[in-house]
Amino acid sequence: MTEVVDRPAGKGHKPATTAHPVTDHAQPAVNVDALGRQLLGKWAAVRLQSRDLAGRPELHKIEGMTHSDHRARVSGQLKYLVDNSAVHRAFPSALGGSDDHGGNIAGFEELVVADPSLQIKAGVQWGLFGSAVMHLGTEEHHTKWLPGIMSLEIPGCFAMTETGHGSDVASIATTATYHPETEEFVVHTPFRAAWKDYIGNAAIDGLGAVVFAQLITRGVNHGVHAFYVDLRDPRTKEFLPGIGGEDDGVKGGLNGIDNGRLHFTNVRIPRTNLLNRYGDVAPDGTYSSPIASPGRRFFTMLGTLVQGRVSLDGAAVAASKVALKAAVHYAAERRQFNASSHTDEEVLLDYQRHQRRLFTRLATTYAAGFAHEQLLQKFDDVFSGATDTDADRQDLETLAAALKPLSTWHALDTLQECREACGGAGFLIENRFASLRADLDVYATFEGDNTVLLQLVAKRLLADYAKEFRSVDFGVLARYVVGQATGTAIHRTGLRQVAQFMADTGSVQKAAIALRDEEGQRALLTDRVQTMVAEAASALKGSNRLSQEKGAALFNRHQNELIDAAQAHAELLQWEAFTEALRDVTDPGTKTVLTWLRDLFGLSLIEKNLSWYLMNGRLSMQRGRTVGEYINRLLVKIRPHALDLVDAFGYGDEHVRAAVATGAEKIRQDEARAHFRAQRASGKAAVDEKVLLARTAAGRHS
């Protein structure tokens, strides 16, 4: 049975009506306000300020616009952001910024709820173009270009990706060759595949660009560096001599951004247009760099631009929250099929399958949100200089490369599932699921293709694994090998399965207790990562002594397992972040419900990979069968708190903007129920044929 209760509406908080199931025993209660404050994180004030902006109609996407009109609207919205001091937090205080790197990302990612095109175009202007000048340039460059970039006087492009090379930045083909006689670089695109492609602001608005090219001086290629290049005449908006391009046209989403292609034919730029923080060329053509290793230099330059991945991670989480708030509220009101009553239909959210569809994704969204807060803190520590060592930067790059794929894939999956969970209504553009999914589709390949990023994570895991044994003596290594062999023998001979069965003693209840235990979940999730990495490392042992061709072939044979290991590692990071966040929850009821949600996340990961756990002897068949059963029990426990959990996200109607989440469905359902109730009470209702047949049959038997 479901009782409908009224709750006060409020901007950025809860709609007027929600539904909670009534149970016979006392339930823990979620402190929505306290949980909401925790979810806002360290930069709560900035997030709230940005949400206030994102809730204003001036910044909202207008569905159905032509791509030309949408582009014009978003361009105008950028000026609105400037006028409202929303985009300068990360820039130097000497130039009007506030040196707040974490706050800048926290505020920026909230813009996704207004219009993803606005978020990404703002990201191109200030998060990529402006940040490249700030982080790769020096004080001379800052003084010359940053004020115009900050004020939008210089709209610009981040020209890295080429048609022939996307994530493989090291292999881009555009060149910048130094000529000492004129003290100029000549930027040149040698063939069609070297055109800069999918570049935001390139089709219409961009006046300048940071162009990534192979730096060549004195006959030596020093690898990829960044150069400032003027693109268009500010008065006529026409390309300058030697520069050309094309409009990418209509895309699958994000059509408020004027993506385009750029090419250069022997374009001359001053020597000082080289953004030379990590590599410089003297007037005579002599190259110098504070980083001797070309490889480390390359990754250091790219690492300064990691904020794109960090912000996409957060924006994807925000989009998932908005989708779930709409879908859960709709499911708490929409009725379908009268399975348990002759008169009342069931609320969708009371169906187990519907709970599975939404609650598991809700749990993952919480985990991804807590993990993002840790990533954002790490980003701020590095870019503020609080902990800015080479190791810290490598950790930040790896963490961003691990979490961004999971959150962006999760957002696409969540938007699709929420769309389907709302039936035909979910497909209507007024409910935003289809629109948001189309716009976020490219997030899976923005700032690094997700699969490529996970491969980078896998290589780091292998490197860390190898480092453990680089300096150990033979005795330590021998003991480790013996331990591994013993462990493998236990798993393969089924001794672990027997031990589990004896511990469970055939009791489903005991098996469930073992799985819901925090340390039990941690052990299973960690063991899978460690085992997968160890097996890959063993398979690749000695590959560094092979020829380049044979080494690459060996790596390729194990690429799939490596990427799976990296994903398992990222999922473990999310689980740990969720678990750590539980320690900060002081309200007992909220902590209980969040623990159930954490358990749902952890057990869903185990269920998803149940075949691995069974085949590798980590779970007995007896315990494996209890995973799904315990998940179903958790769904029942979480059901009364589902609305509170999505309301704690803090997004109001002005952010969600989905007709299905306005309470209109409850009004319709109440009207329908009142109609049939009055009809039955009047005694004039038509008799259902099935009821009539049943009565006739009963009369015959009597």
67 Cβ neighbours under 8 A, 6+ residues apart? 249, 250, 255, 256
Judged by phi (left if over 0) then psi (alpha if -120 to 50, else beta), residue 686 lies in beta
Predicted confidence (pLDDT) at residue 8 exceeds the cutoff of 50: no
> Model confidence at 471, in pLDDT bands (50, 70, 90)?
low
- Most confidently predicted of 16-25, 290-299, 484-493: 290-299
**Cα distances (angstroms) measured from residue 229 to each of 258, 304, 328:** 19, 20, 49
The maximal CA–CA distance of the chain, rounded, in angstroms, is 113
Residue % of the chain over a pLDDT of 90: 69
Specify burial of residue 532 (Cβ count, 10 A radius: 0-12, 13-18, 19+).
buried
The whole-number average pLDDT for the span 568-590 is 96
pLDDT for residue 250? 96
How confident is the model at residue 513, as a pLDDT? 65
Amino acid identity, residue 656? V
Q: Which CATH class is domain 59-303?
A: mainly beta
670 pLDDT above the threshold of 50: yes
Among 81, 90, 200, 77, which Cα is nearest to 134's? 90
DSSP state of 274: B
Residue 568: both structure tokens together: 């398992």
pLDDT level of residue 124 (50, 70, 90 thresholds): very high
Considering the chain, tell me which residue range(s) the CATH 2.40.110.10 domain(s) occupy: 59-303
| The pLDDT of residue 299 is above 50 | yes
Q: Tell me, what's the pLDDT at 663?
A: 80
Domain(s) of CATH 1.20.140.10: residues in the chain = 307-474+507-647
CATH 1.20.140.10 is the classification of domain 307-474+507-647? yes
CA distance 204 to 119: 18
* Three state DSSP letters for 539-604: HHCCHHHCCHHHHHHHHHHCHHHHHHHHHHHHHHHHHHHHHHHHCCCCCHHHHHHHHHHHHHHHHH
Could you say which of 447, 468, 535, 689 is catalytic? Answer: 447
Has 447 been annotated as catalytic? yes
**Token duo for residue 300:** 């250091």
Show the tokens assigned to 503. Answer: 């511990």
